[in-house]
Structure 1
Amino acid sequence: MLDAAVQCFWSRGYEATSIRDLIANTGLTGASLYNAFGDKRAFYQRALDHYVEGSIGERMRRCETLEPREAIESFFAEIVKRSLDDTEHKGCMLVNAALDVTSHDPAFQEVVAGVLLRIEEFFLHNVRQGQADGSVTTSLAAEDLARHLVGILMGVRVLARVRPDRALLEGAVRPALALLAAEKPGAS
């Protein structure tokens, strides 16, 4: 049921998704929907949480098992692949929420900001670990690199909605990953 709600909100957006759409796509009755979730906003919150844990959270958990630099590279490789495989050009539900809902809902702004902070912390952890093991440059602050990676991630996901072109998306990611490269000893 939550998967169906995610697909409904993700493809139409919060504003354009009606209770009737949710009933038709989830199989819930109106009464069941209201009893289980209270209202459309609460249902959207649960669907967004479900999306975040099943998509972004799952990706971060898979990448945590890799070496730091490889974790970041793998994270972005999956993002590019997912973006190119998105034949409906839905983009990222989190980014869509940031653009669709947060401008008029401070509580949702906090939710989205919290997820973005979680992603930033994932990058920061891997950058720091990479700096410690010598696989990531120490010429830039770990915090700045992590924030840069979040910015690249958001840019790629927005670009993918309107221009899901492999060269464009990989071209946006490649310099960010190159920026991470640690200088080789003796290089000048």
Structure 2
Amino acid sequence: MARPRAFDENEVLDAAIRCFWMRGYEATSVRDLASSMGLTGASLYNAFGDKHALYERALQRYVDESVADRIRRLEDPAIGPRAAIGAFFDEVVERSLDDPDMKGCMMVNAAVELGPHDPDMRAAAGRTLGEIEAFFRRRVAAGQKDGAIAADLSPEDFARMLLGVLLGIRVLSRIRPERALLEGVLRPALAALEPR
């Protein structure tokens, strides 16, 4: 009979997130992870498999707790489409500025670090970016329908532009987390949404 786990899985996954997010995948050793998670190496392997499997679990928890949660909250029909897009970016900018370690977005970091040579990570990042793009597309389409968003570009094109702006902000926040810079990148994109 298997023994029950003597740890809270969410707590140790959160510790793994912090460790991977600070160092990146390649620079994080199993020893770093075990130490930060308060587990032995053997317990880590028994509970989560290898380092790659743990990274996938940690990244999925990060996405669920940040990106997916933000999308869920901002899909609320009580929030207007244009306001939802603005609130999405306000949260991203504030989160970027409140990060003294300049970690950026763990999902974007995974896409950049592992996406080019790891098909699993490329697929995972692609799914998440697709969900963000779909959120923008839905909000733009709803805003165009009610006249709150300009109709001169398709919802698909606006969504792709907003996704690019988001990625730019998240990458810039790792090296120049300056309010004027991040808001300056965002301002023209939001202005493009304004009805003419």
| TM-score tier (shorter) | over 0.9
1:55-102 deviation digits (Å, cap 9, x = unpaired): 111111121121110000000001110110010000110111011111
Paired residues, what number? 183
CA distance in 2, matches of 1:16, 1:105: 16
Q: Which residue of 2 aligns with 1:173?
A: 186
User: Which residue of structure 2 lines up, in the alignment, with residue 89 of structure 1?
Assistant: 102
Per the normalisation by structure 1, the TM-score is 0.96
What is the 5 A alignment of 1:101-140?
Answer: 101-140=114-153
Query: Is residue 2:114 matched to residue 1:71?
Result: no
Q: CA deviation at 1:119?
A: 0.3
Q: Distance in 2 between matches of 1:155 and 1:22?
A: 29
Offset at residue 103 of structure 1 (A): 1.7
User: What do residues 95-125 of structure 1 show as CA deviations (whole Å, max 9, x unaligned)?
Assistant: 1101111122111101101100000001001
Partners of 1:98 and 1:22 lie apart in 2 by 20
Structure 2 residue aligned with 1:33 = 44
Give the residue type in structure 2 aligned to 1:152: V
Match in the other structure for 1:44 = 55
Deviation at residue 37 of structure 1 after TM alignment: 1.4
Gaps of 5+ in 2: 1-11
User: What is the identity, as a one-letter code, of the residue corresponding to 1:148?
Assistant: M
Distance 1:43 1:182 in 2: 46
Residue 10 of structure 1: CA displacement?
0.1
Q: Deviations over 1:101-153 (max 9, x none)?
A: 11221111011011000000010010000011110111111100000000000
Aligned to 2:14: 3
**2:27 maps to which residue?**
16
**Aligned AA (2:156):** E
Amino acid at match of 2:55: Y
Distance 1:180 1:129 in 2: 12
Letter in 1 for 2:50: D
Match of 1:162 among 158, 164, 175: 175
Q: Which residue, out of 102, 112, 121, partners 1:99?
A: 112
Q: Distance in 1 between matches of 2:38 and 2:138?
A: 41
Matches of 1:53 and 1:182, distance apart in 2: 33
Pick aligned residue for 2:155 from 138, 142, 147: 142
Amino acid paired to 1:33: L
Match of 1:186 in 2: none
RMSD: 0.7
CA–CA distance in structure 2, aligned partners of residues 28 and 16 of structure 1: 19
**Partner amino acid, structure 2, of 1:4:** A
